[in-house]
Amino acid sequence: MQTERQSGQPQGRSLRLPWELSRGTQASASSRTTVCFFGIAALLILSLMVGVPAFAAEQQAILDAIRQVESGGEANPPRGDDGKALGPFQIHRIYWQDAVAFDPQLGPEAGYSYEDCADRFYAQLVVKAYMLRWIPEDWSRANAEVIARTHNGGPLGQGKEATEKYWAKVRRELDKRNES
């Protein structure tokens, strides 16, 4: 049996957890309000951390423009490139595999599959991982041209002439957004 000195608690009293304060008469209204505020704040922060990917505004604008070019902004677009590309960002399996190799939390070990690229929020995480693998500096600086051309042409897409027309489409989408 623990003594008062060992447990740090007076004998006969149990440790009261913050959420239990509102049940007792010893807690003031002020302390209950403080505990409630911090509890709600913690839940809000936790939900933001696990629910929706957070990107800087510039990166999100680039992703939105790419999504518009790739799928017309449709929530559930059909497969593209003769069935080889999936979701709002029209991600190919090899692109997904590269992203998962960089961030295994996006792969089968975490319960995800290529088919999850049909989900907009998951697909955004895949695009981010792909960019962090191949062009981390350009991603962090939100270099729209390099991001768009890499998305379209692979790791060396920024140097391919074939990605110039794609970049022009993404740039038009970005310009439209900046005008409004």
The pLDDT of residue 177 is 83
Q: CATH 1.10.530.10 residue ranges in the chain?
A: 57-179
Q: Is the pTM of this model over 0.75?
A: no
The pLDDT, as a whole number, for residue 9 is 44
Structure confidence by residue, pLDDT tens digits, 86-111: 999 999 999 999 999 999 999 999 99
List the one residue out of 83, 72, 107, 96 whose CA is nearest residue 151. Answer: 96
**CB atoms inside a 10 Å sphere around CB 139:** 23
Our measurement of the distance from residue 48's CA atom to the centroid of its chain's CA atoms, rounded to an integer in Å, reads 9
* pLDDT given for residue 21 in this prediction: 43
Task: Please tell me the distance from the alpha carbon of residue 74 to that of residue 115, in angstroms, as a whole number.
Answer: 17
From CA 93, how far away is CA 99, in angstroms rounded?
10
Taking all residues of the chain, what is their mean pLDDT, rounded to a whole number? 81
pLDDT digits (tens, 9 = 90+) for 119-149: 999 999 999 999 999 999 999 999 999 999 9
Q: Taking the domain 57-179, which CATH number applies? A: 1.10.530.10
For residue 155, give Cα distances in angstroms to 54, 56, 124, 136, 146. Answer: 23, 22, 17, 11, 10
Q: What is the pLDDT of residue 35?
A: 46
Residue 2, burial from CB neighbour count under 10 angstroms (0-12, 13-18, 19+): exposed
Buried b / exposed e along 95-112 (16+ C-beta atoms within 10 A): bbebbbebbeebbeeeeb
Q: Give the model's pLDDT for residue 33.
A: 52
